[in-house]
A = this chain, B = another copy of it.
Amino acid sequence: MTFGDLVSEHRRSRPARVAVVDGDVRLTYVQLDDRVNQLANGLLAAGVAPGDRLAWIGQNSFRLLELLLAGAKIGAIVCPVNWRSSEAELVFILGDLDPAIVVWQEQELGHTALAARGAAAAAGVATRAVWLQHDGDASAGSAEGSYESLVAASSADEPDIEVHGDDPLLAMYTAAFAGTPNAALLSHSALIVQNLVIGRVQDITDETVFLNSGPLFHIATFMSTNATLHHGGTNVFVRRVDPEEMCQVIEAERITHAVIMGPTLGAIIERNASGVHDLTSLWPTGDPNDNRSTIVTPDSAPWRHRPGGYGQTEVIGLATFLALGSASDGKAGRASPAVIVRVLNDDGREVGPGEVGEIVVRGPAVMNGYFGRDELNAERSRGGWHHTNDLGRREADGSLSFIGPRTALIKSAAENIYPAEVEACIASHPAVREVCVIGVPDAKWTQRVKAVIVVRDEMTVTDDELIEHCRARLASYKKPSIIERTTALPRTQVGFIDRQAVDAGFGGGGYPGLLPSY
Q: Is the CB of A8 within 8 A of B324?
A: no
Determine the interface band of chain A, counting residues with CB < 8 A from chain B.
Answer: 35 or more
Alpha-carbon separation in the docked complex, A14 to B330 (Å): 12
Q: Is the CB of A189 within 8 A of B364?
A: yes
Any B CB within 8 A of the CB of A251:
no
Which residues of B lie under 8 Å from residue A339 when comparing CB positions? Answer: 1
Give the shortest distance, in Å, between A340 (CB) and chain B (any CB). Answer: 4
Which residues of B lie under 8 Å from residue A341 when comparing CB positions? Answer: 9, 12-13
Q: Is the CB of A9 within 8 A of B302?
A: no
Query: CB-nearest residue of chain B relative to A162?
Result: B384
Stretch at the interface among A48-56, A114-122, A201-209, A405-413: A201-209
Any B CB within 8 A of the CB of A245:
no
Query: CB-nearest residue of chain B relative to A342?
Result: B12
Any B CB within 8 A of the CB of A325:
yes
> With A200-B199, A205-B302, A302-B203 in contact, do A334 and B1 touch (Cβ < 8 Å)?
no
Any B CB within 8 A of the CB of A16:
yes
What is the copy number of this chain in the assembly? 2
Give the shortest distance, in Å, between A73 (CB) and chain B (any CB). Answer: 13
Any B CB within 8 A of the CB of A479:
no
Interface residues of A in 159-209 (CB under 8 A from B): 165, 189, 192-193, 195-197, 199-200, 203, 205-207
Over the window 334-345 of chain A, the binary record of Cβ atoms lying under 8 Å from chain B Cβ atoms (1 yes, 0 no) is: 110111111000
Over the window 412-441 of chain A, the binary record of Cβ atoms lying under 8 Å from chain B Cβ atoms (1 yes, 0 no) is: 000000000000000000000000000000
Any B CB within 8 A of the CB of A399:
yes
Q: Is the CB of A200 within 8 A of B196?
A: yes
Which residues of B lie under 8 Å from residue A192 when comparing CB positions? Answer: 364
Query: CB-nearest residue of chain B relative to A195?
Result: B337
Give the shortest distance, in Å, between A18 (CB) and chain B (any CB). Answer: 12
Any B CB within 8 A of the CB of A493:
no
Any B CB within 8 A of the CB of A462:
no
Give the shortest distance, in Å, between A307 (CB) and chain B (any CB). Answer: 15
Which residues of B lie under 8 Å from residue A334 when comparing CB positions? Answer: 13-14, 206, 232
Over the window 1-21 of chain A, the binary record of Cβ atoms lying under 8 Å from chain B Cβ atoms (1 yes, 0 no) is: 100011011001111100000
Query: CB-nearest residue of chain B relative to A361?
Result: B1
Any B CB within 8 A of the CB of A492:
no
Interface residues of A in 38-79 (CB under 8 A from B): none
User: Most chain-B Cβ atoms within 10 A of its Cβ — which of A8, A200, A206?
Assistant: A200
Q: Is the CB of B5 within 8 A of A337?
A: no
> With A197-B196, A325-B206, A363-B1 in contact, do A397 and B340 touch (Cβ < 8 Å)?
no
Interface residues of A in 60-106 (CB under 8 A from B): none
> With A14-B398, A196-B197 in contact, do A9 and B206 touch (Cβ < 8 Å)?
no
Q: Pick the contact of A193 from B193, B302, B324 — CB < 8 Å? A: B193
User: Most chain-B Cβ atoms within 10 A of its Cβ — which of A13, A199, A337, A339?
Assistant: A13
Which residues of B lie under 8 Å from residue A340 when comparing CB positions? Answer: 1, 5-6, 8-9
Alpha-carbon separation in the docked complex, A232 to B328 (Å): 14
Give the shortest distance, in Å, between A205 (CB) and chain B (any CB). Answer: 6
Which residues of B lie under 8 Å from residue A399 when comparing CB positions? Answer: 13
Known contacts A9-B335, A193-B196, A196-B338; 14 further A-B pairs (Cβ under 8 A):
A1-B340, A1-B362, A1-B363, A1-B364, A9-B340, A9-B341, A13-B325, A13-B394, A13-B400, A14-B325, A200-B200, A231-B337, A232-B325, A300-B300
CB within 8 Å of B: which residues of A? 1, 5-6, 8-9, 12-16, 165, 189, 192-193, 195-197, 199-200, 203, 205-207, 230-232, 300, 302, 324-326, 334-335, 337-342, 362-364, 394, 397-400
